[in-house]
Structures are given as structure tokens and as C-alpha cells.
Amino acid sequence: MLTSDQIALCLAYQQCIDEESDPMGDMIVLARKDATCCMCGQLALAGTHHRVETARVDGVPRSCRYCELCCAAMAESWEDDGAEVERRVALFREVPA
């Protein structure tokens, strides 16, 4: 589980769906179902914290969900210059198609 400090730092990390997007919402939720993380491509499990970012891209609402480990990496990025975020992103490239 993320601490309240980690949640605040995670939400302060600028993880945007697209620079051209119109932000609609950005929050940390306690997930009710499994999802796929947009950052690492791994399974984001129900019962854990997920960051859910919603934006309008070309007029169409889009959402990205980030797993608890990626949320923790975003929070840690303030101390490690984004090293853990880069490691998590590299996992996405390793996910079999």
C-alpha cells in the first residue's frame, strides 16, 4: 500500500497521456479489479493502489492506469532522478506481444 506521502509525490509527477491532451482527472484509487499498467505493461492487481489519469485526446476520453509499483516509482523519482521509472518503463518493452 502507498503511504499518503507517496500518493502526494506520485500525483505531483507529471505523467501525461499526451502533451496535446486536455486533462480531465488524475487520482489514486484502491482498485476493485485487475487492469494492465500503462507504464510497465504488467498486471495491476485488484486491492492495490492504482493511479488513474483521464484526458480528452482529439476529443475522445482516454484513461491510463498505473500499478502500485509504478506509482511508487513515480514518487521515488523525486529522489532518484527517475531511475526507477525508467526501469519500470523498460519492463513494458519486455512484455510478450
Q: pLDDT tens digit string along 12-44?
A: 998 655 566 788 999 999 999 999 999 999 999
Contacts of 76 (CB under 8 A, 6+ apart): 9, 84, 85
Find, among 71, 67, 65, 63, the residue nearest to 8 by Cα: 71
Q: pLDDT tens digit string along 66-78?
A: 999 999 999 999 9
Name 43's bridge partners. Answer: 36
Q: What CATH number does the domain containing 41 carry?
A: 3.30.1740
pTM summary value: 0.88
Instruction: Tell me how many domains the chain contains.
Output: 1
Structural domain containing residue 70: 4-94
Query: Which strand (E) or helix (H) includes residue 2?
Result: none
Find, among 77, 80, 64, 82, the residue nearest to 6 by Cα: 77
Query: Which strand (E) or helix (H) includes residue 29?
Result: strand 22-30
